[in-house]
């Protein structure tokens, strides 16, 4: 399920957006300040951010710039949601990397339509970063972190984790993993897979439990 982060300091607007997003079938999480949002972003990436500009502790455009400068979040879809609706305001938002710009007051149905449109466009892109429950895999830098802490993995461990995360929610048979990661299909070598899974679980710490063993079949995240 797509998760939407809403960053909005006005409580009534924040509650309205959260309700509308959930009613449309998305998961939603809301933040009243830049600091709480940025803290959460370090541990879990959403499918999209709805971002107000006028926040009490940091300008929304500055938040947007930070998102675009960070390799982990640079492709994160962002819709600016703000009362600043002049042409120059919109141009500034788009020039700094906004995917869309919605001015207040807004219609709930229009907002949901724009969310869906941006998600459709972003779905066609191959993500550099995959995030699942705090496990973050960055394909461009070939790095892994768990709950914000860097995790050192080997080449094969990285490829194995990437394949499982790319197919999250799906049981991947052992023979498929052996073929895709090691390039062979031989039951006698399946111990190699078990050792790598065990190593990954250990290195991921508490998040290692996200890698499930499906008895007599394979593994899944």
List the chain domain ranges: 3-123, 129-220
For residues 177-205, give the mean pLDDT.
Answer: 79
Equal fold, 3-123 vs 129-220: no
Dump pLDDT digits (tens) for 20-40.
Answer: 999 999 999 999 999 999 999
Taking the domain 3-123, which CATH number applies? 3.40.50.2300
C-alpha angle with apex 132: 204 to 61, nearest 5 degrees?
Answer: 115
pLDDT of residue 148 exceeding 80: yes
When computed from its CA atoms, the radius of gyration of the chain, rounded to whole angstroms, is: 20
Half-sphere exposure at residue 200, Cβ-oriented, CA atoms within 13 angstroms: 28
Tokens at 9, concatenated: 């300091």
Cis check: omega of the bond before 121, within 30 degrees of 0: no
Give φ, ψ of 141 to 5 degrees: -100, 0
Lowest mean pLDDT among 44-48, 68-72, 98-102, 194-198: 68-72
Mean pLDDT over each residue of the chain, to the nearest integer: 87
Nearest to 198, CA basis, from 180, 219, 183: 219
Predicted local distance difference test score (pLDDT) of residue 184 = 60
Which band of pLDDT confidence, cut at 50, 70 and 90, is reported for residue 72? confident
pLDDT for residue 13 is more than 90: yes
Alpha-carbon distance 43 to 94, whole Å? 26
CB atoms closer than 10 angstroms to residue 111 = 20
pLDDT at 16: 94
Copy the structure tokens of residue 22: 């959930």
**Is the whole model's pTM more than 0.85, yes or no?**
no
Contact 71, 140 (CB under 8 A): yes
pLDDT score at 178: 85
Q: Each residue of 95-147: pLDDT tens digit? A: 888 989 998 888 999 999 999 988 887 765 556 788 888 899 988 788 899 98
Pick the CATH number of 129-220 from 3.40.250.10, 1.10.10.10, 3.40.1190.20, 2.170.150.70: 1.10.10.10
Average the pLDDT over 166-194 and give the result: 77
């Amino acid at each position: 399920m797509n998760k939407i982060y809403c960053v909005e300091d006005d409580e009534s607007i924040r509650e309205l957006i959260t309700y509308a997003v959930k009613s449309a079938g998305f998961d939603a999480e809301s933040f009243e300040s830049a600091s709480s949002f940025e803290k959460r972003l370090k541990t879990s990436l959403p499918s999209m951010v709805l971002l107000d500009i006028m926040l009490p502790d940091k300008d929304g455009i500055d938040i947007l710039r930070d998102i675009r400068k960070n390799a982990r979040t640079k492709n994160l879809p962002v819709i600016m949601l703000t009362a600043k609706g002049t042409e120059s305001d919109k141009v500034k938002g788009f020039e700094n990397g906004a995917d869309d710009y919605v001015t207040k007051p807004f219609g709930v149905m229009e907002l949901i339509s724009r969310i869906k449109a941006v998600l459709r466009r972003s779905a066609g892109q191959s993500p550099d970063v995959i995030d699942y429950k705090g496990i973050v895999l960055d394909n461009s830098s070939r790095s892994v972190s768990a709950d914000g802490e860097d995790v050192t993995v080997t080449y094969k461990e990285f490829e194995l984790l990437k394949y499982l995360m790319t197919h999250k929610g799906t049981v991947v048979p052992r023979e498929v993993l052996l073929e895709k990661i090691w390039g062979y299909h031989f039951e006698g070598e399946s111990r190699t897979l078990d050792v790598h899974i065990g190593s990954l679980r250990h290195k991921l710490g508490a998040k290692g439990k996200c890698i499930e063993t499906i008895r007599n079949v394979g593994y899944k995240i």
